[in-house]
């Protein structure tokens, strides 16, 4: 399926980003793009790996957001847990009234029991881990680190000892879609109760890795199997990058990115999550008559629209 869209007729969702009150805003700070692995789908380029926000810049940003009422903060990258200043920064946030403090990580640093303990004691209370797979072999293939599966497993168990269950972030791509139900099953067995499904992005370093992104129509069976496995186990499984019209009967498993008011801060720029080039925010021609356009549905990701067009869209008229 190689149909290209008419990009002249594609439209973008353009939200109002002027928030005077940050009470329900999550301030998501990408403090730097350095990482301790290089996954085969990662979009971070070698140039971006060198980019970092200074501690002073991060603190100034978060102090300003706190003054506007923010109580939720997240740190990402790259791999934030390899940054030496992360735990002091988390303590700083906790002491200034941030109630929800999240880190998005590959989870390997939590395999060190002292680090996991110190992270919890510092005030980190929302753990998101990118689970690559459910077997050591596939984990190693994707992440490029033979011992990664064992390290992440140990990390999840260390967090459990301190009363925390991470949220699982799963990447939908050409070599994982058929395993998604098994991945949910495996990590639910380790106590994980929430899973987010993210569609691999053809951007930056991964922009030419076209084979990593298949049409949703080819992967739907595996994605729906993950939804069903979640229902069977009593855990939450949500898709965050694919419009609900592609999952008839499973619309309640599709998240609206606007439900979480996320302000993303990077070394280069500031934007809302749904304005990101790796978020769905573009409509094809078939979307234009849909009653959910600009309401429940943000449309397709631009890279997906460029690759496959909007032929899979089923507008609700």
- What is the per-residue pLDDT across 240-296, written as a single tens digit (0 to 9) for each? 999 999 999 999 999 887 777 899 999 988 888 888 888 899 999 999 989 889 888
Phi, psi at residue 40, to the nearest 5°?
-70, -10
pLDDT at 201 over 90: yes
- The whole-number pLDDT of residue 17 equals 53
Q: Which of 230, 209, 241, 233 is nearest to 307 (CA)?
A: 209
Q: At residue 8, does pLDDT exceed 90?
A: no
Residue 58 lies in a domain: yes
100 in a domain, yes or no? yes
For the entire predicted model, the pTM comes to 0.93
The whole-angstrom separation of Cα 64 and Cα 74 is 15
pLDDT of residue 12: 54
Q: Which of 301, 240, 281, 275 is nearest to 28 (CA)?
A: 275
Beta bridge partners of 104: 128
Q: Are the beta carbons of 159 and 165 closer than 8 angstroms? A: yes
Tell me, rounded to whole angstroms, the distance of Cα 85 from its chain centroid.
23
In a domain? residue 1: no
**pLDDT above 70 (res 35):** yes
The predicted structure's pLDDT at residue 7: 37
The pLDDT score that the predictor gives to residue 146 is 95
- Which of the pair, 136 or 273, is modelled with greater confidence? 136
**Domain count of the fold of the chain:** 1
For residues 101 and 73, the answer to whether their CB atoms sit within 8 Å is yes
pLDDT of residue 5: 34
Q: Which residues form the domain of 239?
A: 22-285
pLDDT score, position 117: 98
**Is 312 a member of any domain?**
no
Q: Are 257 and 298 in contact (CB under 8 A)?
A: yes
The continuous run of DSSP H or E covering 167 comes out as strand 167-172
Residue 156's φ and ψ, nearest 5 degrees, are: -60, -40
Q: Would 198 be classed as within a structural domain?
A: yes
Contact 81, 103 (CB under 8 A): yes
**pLDDT tens-digit map of 50-95:** 999 999 999 999 999 999 999 999 999 999 999 999 999 999 999 9
- Pairing, β 282-283 against β 11-12: antiparallel
- Among residues 36, 97, 114, the alpha carbon closest in space to that of 63 is found at 97
Other CB atoms within 10 A of residue 20 CB: 6
Residue 245 forms part of a structural domain: yes
CA distances from 26 to 20, 72, 271, 291, 308 (A): 14, 5, 12, 29, 32
Return d(Cα 306, Cα 126) in angstroms, integer: 35
Position 313 in a domain: no
Mean pLDDT on 226-236 = 98
237 in a domain, yes or no?
A: yes
**Can you read off the two tokens belonging to residue 33?**
């793009």
Q: CA 261 to CA 68: how far, in whole Å?
A: 14
pLDDT tens string 177-190: 999 999 999 999 99
- CATH number, domain containing residue 79: 3.20.20.70
Mean pLDDT of all residues belonging to the chain: 92
Q: What is the pLDDT of residue 4?
A: 33
């Amino acid at each position: 399926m190689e149909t290209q869209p008419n990009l002249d007729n594609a439209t973008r969702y353009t939200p109002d980003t002027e928030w005077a009150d940050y009470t329900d805003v999550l301030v998501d700070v990408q403090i730097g793009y350095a990482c301790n692995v290089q996954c085969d789908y990662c979009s971070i380029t070698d140039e971006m790996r060198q980019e970092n926000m200074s501690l002073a810049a991060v603190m100034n940003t978060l102090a300003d957001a706190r003054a506007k009422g923010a109580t939720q903060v997240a740190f990402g990258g790259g791999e934030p847990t390899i940054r030496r200043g992360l735990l002091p920064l988390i303590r700083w946030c906790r002491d200034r009234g941030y109630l929800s403090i999240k880190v998005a990580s590959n989870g390997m640093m939590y395999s060190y029991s002292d680090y996991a303990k110190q992270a919890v004691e510092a005030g980190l209370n929302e753990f998101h881990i990118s689970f690559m797979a459910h077997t050591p072999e596939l984990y190693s293939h994707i992440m490029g680190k033979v011992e990664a599966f064992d390290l992440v497993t140990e990390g999840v168990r260390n967090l459990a000892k301190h009363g925390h269950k991470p949220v699982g972030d799963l990447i939908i791509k050409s070599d994982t879609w058929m395993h998604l139900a098994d991945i949910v099953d495996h990590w639910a067995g380790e106590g994980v109760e929430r899973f987010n499904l993210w569609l691999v992005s053809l951007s930056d370093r991964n922009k030419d890795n076209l084979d990593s992104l298949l049409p949703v129509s080819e992967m739907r069976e595996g994605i729906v199997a993950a939804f069903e496995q979640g229902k069977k186990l009593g855990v939450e499984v949500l898709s965050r990058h694919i419009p609900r019209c592609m999952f008839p009967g499973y619309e309640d498993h599709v998240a609206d990115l606007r439900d979480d008011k996320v302000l993303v801060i990077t070394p280069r720029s500031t934007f809302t999550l749904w304005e990101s080039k790796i978020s769905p925010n573009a409509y094809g021609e078939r979307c234009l008559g849909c009653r959910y356009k600009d309401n429940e549905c943000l449309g397709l990701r631009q890279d997906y629209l460029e690759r496959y067009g909007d032929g899979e869209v089923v507008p609700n008229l």
